[in-house]
Amino acid sequence: MSGAAPYDVTARRLDFPILGRSVHGQPLVYLDNAASSQHPRQVIDAVGHFYEHSYSNIHRGVHLLSQEATLAYETGRLAARGLLNAACSHEVVFTSGATASINLVAQSYARPRLKAGDEILITHMEHHSNIVPWQMVCEQTGAVLKVVPINDSGELEMDAFEQLLNERTRLVSVVHVSNALGTVNPVERIVELAHEQGVPVLLDGAQAVPHLPVDVQALDCDFYVFSGHKIYGPTGIGVLYGKEALLNAMPPYQGGGDMILSVSFKGTTYNNLPYKFEAGTPNIAGAVGLGAAIEYVQSIGLDAIAAHEHELLRYATERLKEIKGLRIVGEAANKAGLISFVLDRVHPHDIGTILDSQGIAIRTGHHCAQPVMERYGVPATARASFALYNTRNEVDALVEGIRKVIGMFE
Amino acid sequence: MENLRDLYQEVILDHNRNPRNFRKMEKPDGFAHGNNPLCGDQIDIYLKIRDGIVEDVSFDGMGCAICTASASMMTLALKRKTEQEATALFESFHHCLTEDEPHPEDVPLGKLEVLAGVKEYPVRVKCATLAWHTFLAALKHRQDSISTE
Ligand SMILES: Cc1ncc(COP(=O)(O)O)c(C=O)c1O
Digit-coded pLDDT (tens) for A18-36? 999 999 999 999 999 999 9
Same structural domain for residues A30 and A174? no
Q: Which residues contact A118 (CB under 8 A, 6 or more apart)?
A: A141, A143, A144, A168, A169, A170
Q: What is the pLDDT of residues A387-399, one digit of tens each?
A: 999 999 999 999 9
Give tens-digit pLDDT for A188-198. Answer: 999 999 999 99
Within this chain, do residues A76 and A13 fall inside the same structural domain, yes or no? no
In 3D space, the residue among B33, B18, B34, B24 whose CA is nearest the CA of residue B128 turns out to be B34
| Nearest chain A residue (CA) to B40 | A379
Same domain for A278 and A138, yes or no, is: yes
Last residue of a domain, one of A261, A281, A298: A298
Same domain, A186 and A85: yes
Kindly determine whether residue A380 and residue B39, on different chains, have CB atoms separated by under 8 Å.
yes
> Is residue A110, in this structure, part of any structural domain at all?
yes
CA of B116 to the centre of ligand 1 (A): 36
Model confidence pLDDT, tens digit, residues A191-250: 999 999 999 999 999 999 999 999 999 999 999 999 999 999 999 999 999 999 999 999
Query: B20 C-alpha vs ligand 1 centroid, how far in Å?
Result: 40
Tally of domains within chain A: 2
Q: Distance between CA atoms of A186 and A209, rounded to whole angstroms?
A: 15
Do the domain assignments include residue A4?
Answer: no
CATH of the domain at A194: 3.40.640.10
Burial label for A241, CB within 10 Å (0-12, 13-18, 19+), is buried
Q: Give residue A62's pLDDT band: very low, low, confident or very high (50, 70, 90).
A: confident
Domain boundary pick from A298, A325, A355 = A298
Query: Does A346 lie in the same domain as A250?
Result: no
In a domain, A2, yes or no: no
Q: Which CA distances in Å does A47 have to A35, A67, A281, A319, B94?
A: 21, 17, 17, 39, 43
Tell whether A357 lies on the interface with B, counting CB pairs under 8 A. yes
On whether both A246 and A349 belong to a single domain, the answer is no
B68-78: average pLDDT = 97
Q: Give SS3 for A274.
A: coil
Average pLDDT value for residue range B42-60: 94
Give the pLDDT mean for A94-122: 98
Is A270 found in the same domain as A400? no
Q: State the complex-level ipTM.
A: 0.85
Q: Give the pLDDT of residue B149.
A: 46
Tell me the count of A-B CB pairs closer than 8 A: 54
Domain membership of residue A179 as a residue range: 44-298
A262 and A318 within one domain: no
Residue A31 shares a structural domain with residue A69 = no
Statement to judge: residues A372 and A271 lie in one domain: no
Please check whether residues A89 and A147 belong to one and the same domain.
yes
A221 among known catalytic residues: no
- Record the pTM: 0.93
Q: In this complex, do A349 and B42 lie within 8 Å of one another by their Cβ atoms?
A: no
Distance of residue B84 Cα from the nearest chain A Cα, in angstroms: 32
Q: What is the CATH number of the domain that holds A336?
A: 3.90.1150.10
Closest Cβ–Cβ partner in A347, A353, A409 for B13: A409
Instruction: Report the residue among A129, A130, A178 best suited for mutation to probe ligand 1: largest number of ligand atoms under 8 A from its CB.
Output: A129
- Tell me if chain B has a CB within 8 Å of the CB of A336: no
In this structure, the residue with its CA closest to atom 16 of ligand 1 is: A179
In chain B, what are the domains?
Answer: 2-147 (3.90.1010.10)
- Is A392 near chain B, with CB under 8 Å? no
Q: Flag whether residue A409 sits within 8 Å of chain B, measured between CB atoms.
A: yes
Of A266, A298, A330, which one is at a domain's C-terminal end? A298
